[in-house]
Structure 1
Amino acid sequence: MPPLLLPSIALSAGIISVLLTIWLERHAQRLGLVQAPNHRSSHTKPTARGGGLAVAVTIVAAAIALSPVGSPRLLCIAACIAAIALLGFADDLKDLSARLRFAAQAVILVALLWAAGPLPSPGPDWLAGPILLLLLLLVGLWWINLFNFMDGIDGIAASQAVLVILGAMLVWSLGKPEAISQPTFWLGCSAAAASLGFLLRNWPPARIFMGDSGSNALALTVMALALLSISAGELGYNCWLILPAVFVSDATVTLLRRLSRGERPWQAHRRHAYQQLARRYGHARVTTAYCIITIGWLTPLAAAAEWFPPWQWQLTLTAYLPLVLGAWLCNAGARTETPAGATE
């Protein structure tokens, strides 16, 4: 494949994504994708949802286009992303049961783990083989669902997808310049471009929402990129643990505090830290703040963890501790909602 064709796939992904997003936005009423605000919403006006389907379609197309350069495993990755996007789209339309969603997600994750190939142990020798795969399956289930939970205000999920993926690709290419010849690298760039194309219509005030189709697809894409790069020995576990830490911390603190009071984890609510903050400061400020944390705090730490392996777990702890504390102080998972100070 000619060298210029690889970046052109990523560029095309961004253009196609924004065009598909605009098309979905204009036809949302006819497709039954207009969402009225409910008790879980952080919005006050009916808005089109399901726009993340444009991101999913674009990423799948990019993976298929890149498969001749890489290996047949990219076709399996594309199939997994398509499957979980369709599952999310069905949930957008029909509100599937939690049991059915988890079962389907588990099957798709098993296929993804198989496609990724052999994975090294992140620690002691016993943490390998079936034990590692089971752990990654559980992590994957939590990651997919927490990404969906964190898609609750304008621009936050799409912007984090852009920054997490680009952060990983930046760390990879700076440490190993030959990365720019790898199909996984360009799949990452294509996914970031597709997310950015959607973000142009989703930035506050959002004209269209991502929906479960997009959040599922982006979460699985990030995990696929992580598994592929780890399996190939290009990036380590800690880099991928650190980059999404602002999302992981917020969602996990929220879940644990709610579980400690006996609340059902699948019960709809608006008490993540970002939602508490958005009621007081507005969507744009909170989304921007999360972006700044990912760029200014997490990306440098992820790079340091990658380039200084003896310190990788200490750096991971350094990344998470202030974010966990911050989520707690911002009332993540608190019993009550922060009073509104700004609305969008």
Structure 2
Amino acid sequence: MEYIFVTVILFISILIYFRIADKYNIIDKPNHRSAHTQITLRGGGIIFPVSFIVFCLFNFNEVIQNYWSFGLGLLAICTISFIDDIKTLSNKIRLSVHLISVILLLYFTGAFTLMPFWVWPILFVIIIGTLNAYNFMDGINGMTGLYSIVTLTSLAYINKEIIQFTDENFILYPIMACIVFLFFNFRKKAKCFAGDVGSMGIGFWVIALITLLVMRTGDYKYILLLSIYGMEVVLTIIERIVLKENIFEAHRRHLYQLFANEKKISHLLVSSAYAACQLIINLFLINSQFPVWAVILIIFIPTGGIYLGLKWSLKKEYNL
């Protein structure tokens, strides 16, 4: 009953936001690098920080004891991202808030206690890089929501059947938020986009859960629960460096962009394919008894080969 009630609250919350966004003209206008062609409401991903606020209402004492640092980090990064959705901010301001949020995340997961100090800078780079990867990959309808549900449900299974590393509701609430968001986003003509507030918000939550799991088990293979995003972003950055492009400028070189923009394949089909690929990897990852180096090779050699083959084929076909 609680979950139905929470879902209804989240549904009403996003409908209220739609009225606010429509009144104050918080919209996403398509441009030359967009994968969409219609003006659409931006910032629908505000549902993710809202879901944490609802989580606090139903789990107040536990939040005060265990989740306050995560909550501060999440709300900080979502607030600055939402402002950036409306009005472009300087990189210094955004990165400063991101840094503070990551510090709070690492404190929440116990990384400062469990890891030697020389590892901390590495963790900062990995987490901030992963957050930005989440943001880079949020470009077509359904991508962020479906991919996040696959990762979150995998984490929920691990938490319940393999090793409990957090409270069950701390995983179920963002899953419910994803379902509500997808109701409006997983459409041919999306009612809303996640915006930076959405991609950074759910990315922060997912990364926090994976970091918790890694700290609890000491097994780094669980980073591969985001392997499709990681592989796509890293290979695309390498490609842009080889082509001597500015990697900080917006572009349309991601494979999903080529499929959606040049090949004109349905956004929903492309998003579903990405989510399905990550699900297959997660099933192998969860049940694998191989050492982490072997898992990495087994996952990335065939996946990377397929990715590069598809990209080469599309670029040749469209003279890109």
Q: Tell me how far 1:330 sits from its aligned partner.
A: 3.2
Instruction: Give the conservation status (yes or no) of the 8 Å contact 1:18–1:197.
Output: yes
Query: Counterpart in 1 of 2:131?
Result: 144
> Is the counterpart of residue 80 in structure 1 residue 60 in structure 2?
no
Aligned to 2:250: 268
Give secondary structure in 1 for the equivalent of 2:291: helix
* SS of structure 2 residue aligned to 1:268: coil
Q: How many residues align?
A: 316
Equivalences for 1:62-101 in 2 at 5 Å?
Answer: 62-63=55-56, 65-66=58-59, 68-69=61-62, 72-101=65-94
SS of match in other structure, 1:113: helix
* Larger mean Cα displacement after TM superposition, 66-75 or 25-34: 66-75
| CA distance, structure 2, for counterparts of residue 294 and residue 27 of structure 1 | 35
* Equivalent residue number for residue 36 of structure 2: 43
State the shift of 1:219 in Å: 0.8
Contact 1:146–1:248 at 8 Å: present in 2 too?
yes
Cα distance in 2 between the residues matched to 1:11 and 1:336: 49
**Could you tell me which of 56, 65, 85 is aligned with 2:49?**
56
Q: 2: CA distance between counterparts of 1:318 and 1:212?
A: 33
Q: Does 2:174 match 1:194?
A: no
**Does the 8 A contact of 1:33 with 1:50 survive in 2?**
yes
Between 203-212 and 102-111, the greater mean CA deviation after superposition: 102-111
1:247 matched to 2:229? The reply is yes
Once residues 184 and 277 of structure 1 are traced to their aligned partners in structure 2, the CA distance between those partners, rounded to angstroms, is: 39
Task: Give ranges in structure 2 of 5+ residues lacking alignment.
Answer: none
Q: 1:72 to 1:227 in 2, by over 3 A?
A: farther
User: Is the 1:165–1:188 Cα contact (8 Å) retained in structure 2?
Assistant: yes
**Residue aligning to 1:278:** 260
* Higher helix content, 1 or 2: 2
Identical residues among aligned pairs (%): 23
1:217 to 201, 211, 216: 201
1:316 correspondence with 2:300: no
| 137-146 vs 34-43, greater mean Cα deviation | 34-43
**TM-score, with length taken from structure 2:** 0.89
Kept in 2: contact 1:48–1:207 (CA 8 A)? yes
Once the two structures are superposed, residues 237-263 of structure 1 have per-residue CA deviations (whole angstroms, 9 ceiling, x without a partner) of: 212x22211111111111111122221
Q: Once superposed, which parts of structure 1, at least 4 consecutive aligned residues long, lie more than 6 Å away? A: 334-337
CA distance in 1, matches of 2:241, 2:10: 38
CA distance in 2, matches of 1:16, 1:328: 43
CA distance in 2, matches of 1:339, 1:47: 31
RMSD after superposition = 2.6
The match for 2:286 is: 303
Paired residue type of 1:66: N
Q: How far has the Cα of 1:54 moved from its partner?
A: 1.7
Match of 1:173 in 2: 160
CA distance in 1, matches of 2:44, 2:317: 28
Q: Any idea what SS the aligned residue of 2:174 has?
A: helix
Q: Structure 1 length as normaliser, TM-score?
A: 0.84
